Amino acid sequence: MEIKDKVFIVTGGASGLGEGTARMLAERGAHVVIADMQAEKGEAVARDINGSFVKCDVTSEDDGKAVVAKAVSIGKLMGLVNCAGIAPAEKTVGKNGAHSLTLFSKVVQVNLIGSFNMIRLAAEAMAANAPEPTGERGVMISTASVAAYDGQIGQAAYAASKGGIVGMTLPIARDLARNGIRNMTIAPGIFGTPMLFGMPKEVQEALAAGVPFPSRLGTPDDYAKLACHIIENDMLNGEVIRLDGAIRLAPR
Q: If you ran DSSP here, which 8-state letter would residue 138 be given? A: E
Q: What is the pLDDT of residues 40-93, one digit of tens each?
A: 999 999 999 999 999 999 999 999 999 999 999 999 999 999 999 999 999 999
Cα separations (Å) of 53 from 32, 41, 67? 8, 10, 9
| Model pLDDT, residue 176 | 98
- SS3 of 1, please? coil
Phi-psi region of 97 (alpha: psi -120 to 50; beta: other; left: phi over 0): left
CB-CB contact of 36 with 84 (8 Å): yes
181, β-bridge pairs: 138
| Model pLDDT, residue 42 | 98
Q: What is the pLDDT of residues 96-125, one digit of tens each?
A: 999 999 999 999 999 999 999 999 999 999
User: What mean pLDDT value characterizes the chain?
Assistant: 95
Omega of the bond prior to 131 within 30 degrees of 0, cis?
A: no
Query: Can you give the pTM of this predicted structure?
Result: 0.96
Q: If you ran DSSP here, which 8-state letter would residue 153 be given? A: T
Rounded to whole angstroms, how far apart are CA atoms 149 and 168? 15
Rounded to an integer, the average pLDDT of 234-244 is 98
Q: What is the pLDDT of residues 123-137, one digit of tens each?
A: 999 999 999 999 999
| Model pLDDT, residue 136 | 97
| Model pLDDT, residue 205 | 80
Residue 194 pLDDT greater than 80, yes or no: no
Confidence of residue 195 (pLDDT cuts 50, 70, 90): low
| Model pLDDT, residue 46 | 98
Q: Which amino acid makes up residue 54?
A: V
Directed axis angle between helix 101-108 and helix 156-176, to 10°?
30
Rounded to whole angstroms, how far apart are CA atoms 244 and 247? 6
Give the pairing of strands 97-98 and 7-11. Answer: unpaired
User: Of these residues, 158, 182, 188, 207, which one is catalytic?
Assistant: 158
Residue 111's contacts (CB-CB under 8 Å, 6 or more residues apart) are: 85, 86, 158, 161, 162, 164, 165
Is 223 in the active site? no
